Structure 1
Amino acid sequence: MRNISDVIEHYLKHIIESSNEELIEVKRSELAEQFDCVPSQINYVIRTRFTVEKGYMVESKRGGGGYIRIIKVTPDNHLDLYDQLIELTSGQISQTAALNIIERLYNEEALTKREANLMQSVIDREVLNVKLPYRDVLRAEIMKAMLTTLKYKEMNE
């Protein structure tokens, strides 16, 4: 059985996919009532399942007329996607965010399964046996190098 967060995520993604537009607006309180949960559960799902790394932008307005707007970001091509993700990896990046980026690349068919598996193995915290925050900085540099290589491979094909 899936947990409530999975159910809410699936529901929201289904609405986005079935919509003719790349965005939806929902009311936090209405979703909480629909799924019989507290509004903070909705916040958790939005914050963790609809991230930039996963290809979403979220806007929210609090208050009585408040809403949550979830926008599916779809790049024009793989080169734009690589550029966007290279920008996201500057500085430092957590393992979770890096895995989300790899998953997004795979889902958007910008990576093969083999390439995704290789990337995942290289950025793992067990492989990058360095203390934080240096590990996240090192992971960002490795991710940037891999994304840049994939981008230029794509340009030369």
Structure 2
Amino acid sequence: MAILSDIIETFIKSLLEENDGEKLQIQRNELASQFSCAPSQINYVLTTRFTTDKGYIIESRRGGGGYIVIRQTKDSHEHVKDMINEKIGESITCDCALSLIEILLDIEILKDREAQIVKTAINDRALVSINCEDRNKIRAELLKSMIMVVLS
């Protein structure tokens, strides 16, 4: 059984898809009423599931009923490049790299096959001959290079 956060996330994503990924304007209180939950539950979903790392921009307006605008940024390669430079940096662990690849899959920057190739190339088994101190640095460079090729 799906938890309420998953259901709310799926609902919001389906609304975004219906709008062809354009901005979506919703009222927090109306959404909370629809799902019989507190508005803080909606806030939780928005702040954890619709982050800039995952390709979303959230704007909140108060007054006059108040509303939230959600924009999907999956077509913005500049945003992805900034995220990559911020997340990867000079070095990255295998777990963090795999998490980043999942985000890139979710925002449709990588396709399934590309993601599998990248995961295989940056896995600890592929880098086993490199000493532990340098492994995360090499992984970061590989990951950046492969993602930049996909973005170009």
TM-score (norm 1): 0.67
State the partner residue of 2:144: 148
Unaligned runs of 5+ in 1: 123-138
Counterpart CA distance in 2 for 1:154 and 1:71 is 23
Unaligned runs of 5+ in 2: 125-135
Equivalent pair of 2:22/2:72 in contact (CA under 8 Å): yes
State the partner residue of 1:84: 82
* Identity across the alignment (%): 36
Equivalent pair of 1:53/1:97 in contact (CA under 8 Å): no
Counterpart CA distance in 1 for 2:93 and 2:44 is 18
Q: Secondary structure at the match of 2:58?
A: strand
Amino acid at match of 1:113: A
CA shift digits 1:122-155 (9 cap, x unpaired): 6xxxxxxxxxxxxxxxx7x677534421145448
Counterpart CA distance in 1 for 2:28 and 2:144 is 38
Distance 1:64 1:153, change over 3 A: closer
CA shift digits 1:105-128 (9 cap, x unpaired): 224253523235348856xxxxxx
Amino acid at match of 2:39: P
Distance 1:150 1:93, change over 3 A: closer
Equivalent pair of 1:54/1:103 in contact (CA under 8 Å): no
Q: Does 1:66 align with 2:62?
A: no
Amino acid at match of 2:41: Q
Counterpart CA distance in 2 for 1:149 and 1:76 is 18
Q: CA deviation at 1:104?
A: 3.0
Amino acid at match of 2:15: I
Q: Provide the aligned C-alpha RMSD in A.
A: 3.6
Amino acid at match of 2:82: Q
Structure with max Cα Rg: 2
Give the total of aligned pairs: 138
TM-score (norm 2): 0.69
